Each structure stands twice: as C-alpha cells, then as structure tokens.
Amino acid sequence: MARGVYGQALYVDPKAEVVIARFASHPAAANVANDATSLPAHDAVAK
C-alpha cells in the first residue's frame, strides 16, 4: 500500500487481482484517522 499526505492511497492485492486507487483531499495531513474505515473497506473489496 502506498499513501499520499492528504488521504490518497494505492492498494494492491495481487492474489485477488485488485488495485484500488483512492484520490482524496482531506483537510488534515494525516492518514491515521481514516485507517479504521479505509483499510477494512479495501480488504472487503479485495474479497
């Protein structure tokens, strides 16, 4: 997984053949507050 400063993300799951590119512009330069929502969502899409 690659991340940008304001919520951008590139999630790659080769086994599931899934790539998620997330374009975002969060007001704060941090990803920690969004991890609880975005990481499980990425995993759910890959399944």
pLDDT at 11: 94
pLDDT at 21: 95
Boundaries of every domain in the chain = 2-46
Q: Is a pLDDT exceeding 80 seen at residue 39?
A: yes
pLDDT at 23: 92
Instruction: Give the tokens for residue 40.
Output: 């499980």
pLDDT tens track for 9-35: 999 999 999 999 999 888 877 777 777
Largest pairwise CA distance in the chain: 33
pLDDT at 18: 95
Which of 44, 46, 43, 6 has its CA nearest to residue 22?
6
pLDDT at 27: 80
Q: Which residues pair with 36 in a beta bridge?
A: none
